Structures are given as C-alpha cells and as structure tokens.
Structure 1
Amino acid sequence: MTFTLSVTLPFDHIQHGDEFVSMAAVHECSKAAEDAGFWSGTVTDHPVPSYRWLDNGGHYAQDPFVMLSMVAAVTTRLRLQTNIVVLPYRNPFITARAVSSLDAFSNGRVILGLGAGYLKPEYKALGVDFDSRNDLMDEYMRAMKLAWTGEDFSFEGTGYTAVGNRVLPTPVQTPHPPLLVGGNSKRALRRTVELGDAWHPFIVPKMVTDTARTASIDGDDDIIEAIEYMKVHSEKVGRAVPPPVIASSTFQIKPGFNAQEAIDHYAHMKSIGVQGSGASVLATSRSEWCDLARQFGEEVISKVD
C-alpha cells in the first residue's frame, strides 16, 4: 500500500487577511497542493468556538463543505478531506446530503474524517448535549450509512425520525466515501473497527490533550498499542481486516525544512504500522505557502512510497 500524504489547507489563517481568506487563495493553494502530489487537502470544523479557546491557542475554521466545494471546483485529482467534521454538531442527514452532493459533483473525491469533538462551549452554543456526544457519534454514523444507500429508509434517532425517506444522488464512492474516525480513546478505536474505514489519530502530547479533554497519543508505543487493540477488537467482532491508520498532520513544512528529515519521519511512521499521514505548511503569504508545498512535493512526496 502506497503511503498517502495530506496537506492542511490554510484557509483558517484569518490573521493574514485575503492572503488566505479569498477566492484567489483557494485557486492558488489548492492547485499548488495538487501539483505537489498531495493525496488530499484537509479542512477542519469549528462553527462557533469560544473566545477562551481561541485566545489560548485555538483557531478559527471555515465551513468545511463550503471550502471543499470551492477546492473541488479548481482541482481535478486532489482528494477533499475533512480533518475533522465534528459529527454530533449537525443532524446526520444534513451531513449525509452535503457529503453525497460533494462526492457526486467531484467525481468521488471525498474523504470524510469525523470525530466526536471536545469543545464543551461550542457544543453548548450549538444546542447539543456534550455528555451525549459519543452515543450521538455512533448513532449518526449508522444513520448516514442508511441515507447513502439511495434506497428508502427508516431510522429512529435522538430527537428525529426518518420514515420512508430517500437521498439522491448517492456518493460516487461505494458504499460511501472513506470514513476516517478520529479520536484517541478506546471507545474511538472500537468505533473505528465497528463503523469506520480507517483510524485517524491526532498525535499530540498529553499536556495538550489534558487541556482539550481528549485522550493522548504521544509516541510510537501509544500508536502500536492502539493498533494491537484494534486488531483484537476486530477479531472479537468478526472484522476480517483491522482498519488502517491514516494519521493527521505530523510534520511542519517551514522555510529551510530538511527534506531528508521528512522522508525519514514518514518512513518511520510506516514502519510502525501507519499507512498515511499529513503535513502543514507554515507561511504568512499564499505565494510562500505555494512555493513550500511544491518544494515539498519535489523533495519529499516524490520519494515517499
């Protein structure tokens, strides 16, 4: 299996104005990511974050499906990846419709990274019960899979009911776009095995995850342990092949970055059982961002397999 590489698209960097928050930025950065050979471009999801989180290292986020629709319009090969959509924030059929439409019109390029999220104030602002997020996550994944069949379906959900409803067109990818399940907890790993197509860990130190109210993945041992846990749970529930591991961004592309260091990093990730990862580009202008992305393509992506 070829090692896949994603790139974090820069459209959340509102501090740089229309360098990244503009249609010109969508055109130039999306095409640069595609030209560089990245497998996918990723966007995240924070509709209404709290000022406390923003002022302590958090970040803004554009609407993921709006952004990926624009990216789709100016590219032909780049996969369109959410990293991640906080699934319990929206009625699952609204999300299923957005995904189905985007996959149909992009000719099957959607990769749906999804997770339960961790920002309690954002949950409160959206009127969703924070403590129910894991149960809602499992429920919503099941509901979306029914909607993507293209057949009439019925589903009894939490505060909503579908009785003989239908969603068309279906996604181009069958039975649906890849579901990359985020989250580092044991429950997230079980969810990946039971409902997902790949595990999508966010590899961060414990000191960060203590603040974010999410389990930490901090180093090789944690990843290897999680892979073994999924293997055991796969055997328990009758899944023939355990889900692959497609990590979130694990390398920063900065001016003067060391290409060999990046190549060695991804080779090491592959050696411990990770089949894909990502990179983020640190730049203050879109021209710099595009130049670094293309340089990374020439010096790193072309040499990673």
Structure 2
Amino acid sequence: MTFTLSTSLPFDHIDKPQEWGTMQALHEIARAVEAAGFYAGTVTDHPVPSSRWLDNGGHYAQDPFVMLSMLGATTTTLRLQTNILVLPYRNPFITARAVSSLDHFTGGRVILGLGAGYMKAEYKALGVDFDSRNDIMDEYMKAMKLAWTGEDFTFEGNGYTALGNRVLPTPAQTPHPPLLVGGNSKRALRRAVELGDAWHPFFVPKAITDTARTANLEGDEDILAAIAYMAEHCEKIGRAVPPKVIASSTYSVKAGWNAQEALDHFANLKSLGVDGSGATIYTETRAEYLEQAQKFGEDVIAKIDF
C-alpha cells in the first residue's frame, strides 16, 4: 500500500451550524473527501470538555460513533477513523460492541485510533480516575480483543467482570479493525508494540505539549528516535514486525497552500519511516471546503507515488 492520507472532518465547528452542522453538510463533505481520494475521514472524542478548556482554544466534538455511522452510510470506500477515541472513558465492552456493529455494517472500514487522553476535568466529569488512565488503557485493549473473537470469554477487570459473555457479529476485519495507538510517551510507544497495529503520533511543538500534557514530538530526530525505541522494544518482547507509523494530521490546507510543499512534506515523512499521515482543510464556508478538497485530491493525493 502506498502512503495513505486521512483528513480531519470539520463537524466539530459549532459556530456556523448551517455550514457544518446539518445532514446536508455531512453528505456533501463526506462525498467530497471520498472523491478526493482520502483514505480515511477522522473524528475526535470529547464527550464533556471543560468550559475552561473550550474558552482557551479547545473545541467541541460530536459523538464519534454517531458521526462515523452517518459517514459510513454516506460513503462506500472511505475508511472511518477515530482520531482519537479516549478509551478509558467507556466500558471496554460498550466500545467493542460499537466497533463491531460499525465495522460489520460498513464492510470493514473502521480504523480505531486510541489514546489515554489528557483532560483531567473531563475524566472527573465521567467518573474515571485520571491517574490510572494508562493502566486502564492497557486493560481495556486486552478486554476488547477478547470480545472481538466472537467466542465466549471471561475477563476480570477493575470494577467489572465477564464470566462467560459473547459479542456477535464480530468485526468484518479480522481479528479486529486496525488499532492505532496514540500518544508520544515511551509508555505509549511500548503500548503500540505490545497491543497495537500502528503508532499514531501527534506531531506538536513543545508550546502545545506543555498545555496538552503529552510528550513533545516535533522534529525529524524525535520521530526517528521514537521509531528506534519501538524497534528495540519489539526485539525485547519478540515482535517480528514493528507497528506501522500512521501520523495524525501533519499538514494544514489553508489559503495559499502549495501542492509541491505538501508533496515534499509527505515524502520526507515517508523517508523517515512514516506510513501515513493526514491533512486538515481550513475554510470559512462549506463551498470553499468542497473546492479545496477537490483541489488537494487532484494536486496532491493523485500525485503521491511513494
């Protein structure tokens, strides 16, 4: 498979509901990104963000499985990706059921980007212990994998127990949809090796990571060091094939963007060992969005041959 590109969908913008918050908007945007050749459309996950975070540059988020279900009903080939689902927020079997249903009825198009999250106030509002989030994350990934077998399973979790339960139908993809493990910390890298199919890094400068409580990752050296660390951990635990590296959005399509610059950017990522990335389209209106999606498809996606 060649280098793949996802795009972050604009349905989190609530300031212009007629532009971004209608069924017509969803249909038009979904079909446009699919026609442009994007591999996946991505949605985020913030069920109950704090007002303080929202008022200081944060964003709203629609329910990821509701949005991806509508997206799947509108498209035929576009992959349906969470970027990211904060896994500790929900009982793992509720998540496993949602993923199984969506993947089954869309013919195997789900990509599950997962992360432990960083918003303490949101954890508190959902009644989940923030300090235990990494342990919860590991546990829930193991629990979901059992549920996706389609067989009767038992599992002893922290505060819940399965004593012979079954989830059918299984996901269309076997053994389950790709699990893209988000996070830039060494623990996240080890999690990607031990439990994931790919590492899903978020490339951000230190100024942002200071507020987002995630490890800094911005230059080529950081990427290479992280890939090397995963290779070492693969050797340590006996994993033969390292996880893929599929980045979150790394390119912004804004007024004056340059196609060759975009192609060079993605080619550089590929040269470092990155297998896929994303581009986010920023416009004021839906009409402009549709136009830019088409242009990006013609001038960038169609010309990627690496």
Which ranges in structure 2 are unaligned for 5 or more consecutive residues?
A: none
Look up the match of 2:154.
154
Q: What SS does the aligned partner of 1:62 have?
A: coil
Deviations 1:93-140 (A, max 9, x none): 000000000000000000000000000000000000000000000000
CA distance in 1, matches of 2:140, 2:32: 35
Look up the match of 2:286.
286
Question: Which letter does structure 1 place at the counterpart of 2:165?
Answer: N
- Is 1:80 the equivalent of 2:94? no
| Equivalent pairs, count | 305
Deviations 1:119-177 (A, max 9, x none): 00000000000000000000000000000000000000011000100000000000000
**8 Å Cα contact 1:20-1:286 kept in structure 2:** yes
Q: If the length of structure 1 is used for normalisation, what is the TM-score?
A: 0.99
Look up the match of 1:219.
219
Report which stretch shifted further, 184-193 or 10-19: 10-19
Look up the match of 1:123.
123
Offset of residue 216 of structure 1: 1.1
**8 Å Cα contact 1:181-1:196 kept in structure 2:** yes
**8 Å Cα contact 1:6-1:40 kept in structure 2:** yes
Question: Which letter does structure 2 place at the counterpart of 1:138?
Answer: D
CA distance in 1, matches of 2:76, 2:66: 17
Offset of residue 255 of structure 1: 2.8
Deviations 1:174-230 (A, max 9, x none): 000000000000000000000000000000001111111111111111100000000
Offset of residue 72 of structure 1: 0.3
Q: What SS does the aligned partner of 2:97 have?
A: helix
Offset of residue 55 of structure 1: 1.0
Look up the match of 1:195.
195
Look up the match of 1:277.
277
CA distance in 1, matches of 2:279, 2:129: 33
What are the equivalent positions in structure 2 for 1:1-305 lying under 5 Å apart?
1-305=1-305
CA distance in 1, matches of 2:18, 2:171: 33
Question: Which letter does structure 2 place at the counterpart of 1:170?
Answer: T
Which ranges in structure 1 are unaligned for 5 or more consecutive residues?
A: none
CA distance in 1, matches of 2:284, 2:168: 41
Question: Which letter does structure 1 place at the counterpart of 2:286?
Answer: R
CA distance in 1, matches of 2:293, 2:55: 28
Q: If the length of structure 2 is used for normalisation, what is the TM-score?
A: 0.99
Deviations 1:232-278 (A, max 9, x none): 00000010011110000000111331000000000001011101000
Q: What SS does the aligned partner of 2:229 have?
A: helix
Using the aligned pairs only, state the percent identity.
74
CA distance in 1, matches of 2:73, 2:255: 29
Structure 1 segments (4+ residues) deviating >4 Å: none
Q: What SS does the aligned partner of 1:171 have?
A: coil
Deviations 1:14-50 (A, max 9, x none): 1111211110111000000000000000000000000
Q: What SS does the aligned partner of 1:15 have?
A: coil
**8 Å Cα contact 1:16-1:284 kept in structure 2:** no
Instruction: Say what the alpha-carbon RMSD is for the aligned residues.
Output: 0.6
Question: Which letter does structure 2 place at the counterpart of 1:44?
Answer: T
CA distance in 2, matches of 1:157, 1:210: 32
Offset of residue 285 of structure 1: 1.4
Q: What SS does the aligned partner of 1:14 have?
A: coil
Report which stretch shifted further, 16-25 or 59-68: 16-25
**8 Å Cα contact 1:44-1:64 kept in structure 2:** yes
Question: Which letter does structure 2 place at the counterpart of 1:166?
Answer: R
Question: Which letter does structure 1 place at the counterpart of 2:10?
Answer: P
